[in-house]
Amino acid sequence: MSNITKVCRSCKQEKSISEFYEKRGYKDGHENWCKNCRKSWRAGYESQNKEKILAQDSSRKLKKNYGISLDEYDRLLEKQNGVCASCGKPPNGRRLHVDHDHRTGAVRGLLCSGCNVALGAVNDNPSVLERLINYITKKNG
């Protein structure tokens, strides 16, 4: 264990260097706040900024996974009148899923969880969907 110590800028206590997260760019290679103070600050920040953090996270995921921005998602949602492109139901407090062609990556629309799962279960295969339609519409007899 190291004998090196550092004073936390937040709580002003002298602590072992192991009580500080490593961070490049600092003279000693460690942050200026101890781990406990950093965790407390982060918890408070996250509780006060939930919507901002969710928007940033959503924006990163949309760009990475589908190549669209949050603004493009919002425009698509507006074009669909805020409902699922397939069944027409509203999103029920959650974001609609981005539906895309798995071969080309092209975004097709926004779907509710149920429609997204159903489409995934049939692997986007129209003939399976047709057989399902025939199955549920045939008369018992």
**SS3 call for 22:** strand
Mean residue pLDDT across the chain: 89
Burial class (CB within 10 angstroms; exposed 0-12, middle 13-18, buried 19+) of 93? exposed
The pLDDT tens digits for 29-83 are 999 999 999 999 988 887 887 777 767 768 888 888 889 888 899 999 999 999 9
- The predicted structure's pLDDT at residue 118: 92
CATH code that applies to domain 74-137: 3.40.1800.10
The pLDDT value given to residue 34: 95
State the pLDDT at residue 2: 63
pLDDT of residue 102: 83
Q: Cα separations (Å) of 22 from 7, 16, 91?
A: 15, 13, 42
Q: Does 10 score more than 90 pLDDT?
A: yes
Q: Domain boundaries in the chain?
A: 5-48, 74-137
Sequence letter at residue 62:
L
Residue pair 84/96 in contact (Cβ under 8 Å)? The answer is: yes
Helix (H) or strand (E) holding 33: strand 30-34
